[in-house]
Amino acid sequence: MNRTQRFEFFERLAADNPVPETELEYTNAFTLLVAVVLSAQMTDAGVNKATRALFAVADTPEKMAALGLESIRAYVATINFNNIKAKNVLALSEALIRDHGGVVPADRSALEQLPGVGRKTANVVLNSAFGQETFAVDTHIFRVCNRTRLAPGKDPLAVELKLEKGVPAPFRLHAHHWLILHGRYTCKARRPECWRCVVADLCPFKPKTPPPAAHANGAGADA
């Protein structure tokens, strides 16, 4: 995909969704960090269901640490891999208190030193909490970037570096959210909804999936 096509690609996504936002519920940088740590191999809806009650009683590192491991584990019992994730939430809370005065650092290197925090998590926090132009490549973004040839790469880091180099300036802040939402709801893994995709003509993916029969016949039923 050339520079002109990339600009058109993001211009259309922006027109379709002018103010994209993460679907994780959070109130501050700390609760966002915890939500993202909990979100691995989970839907955002599943994470939100667990964290509403948790964040109501623990929205700072100090409050989270005071809960203790067993209480945190009870709050996140419905989360996949809840045992290790509860340990990470407690450990990162303690690390923030010990090393950062209870404040989430706006620095990738410092974030990646926290328990349970990798590059993708750090990028999400830097983008959504601190307004930095980062590109967190999850499975949705990896699929979209390879399928559309927007930023093809053999692994998430390769895709991230191509996005860093190739996303046009006006779209850099929100690019992560446009791509993840596009992958989640339109450019799906098993059956991409090419028939309603706003960038279908810019995408070389073959074969394009046709609309369900109801849509093709004008009935308007959901897929």
Annotated binding-site residue numbers for [4Fe-4S] cluster: 187, 194, 197, 203
Rg (CA), the chain: 19
Q: Give the DSSP letter string of 169-187.
A: GGGTTTHHHHHHHHHHHTS
Write the CB contacts of 145 (distance below 8 Å, at least 6 apart in sequence).
137, 151, 152, 153, 159, 162, 163, 179
The single residue listed with the structure tokens 């059956």 is 191
120 classed as catalytic: yes
Kindly state the tokens that stand for 208: 């394009």
201 classed as catalytic: no
CA–chain centroid gap for 56, Å, is 23
User: Binding site residues, as ranges?
Assistant: 187, 194, 197, 203
**187 φ, ψ to 5°?**
-85, 60
Catalytic residue among 63, 120, 162, 188: 120
Catalytic residue among 138, 154, 201, 222: 138
Q: Give the DSSP letter string of 8-67.
A: HHHHHHHHH-SS---SS--SSHHHHHHHHHHTTTS-HHHHHHHHHHHHHH--SHHHHHHH
First vs last C-alpha separation in the chain: 29
Active site (catalytic) residues: 120, 138
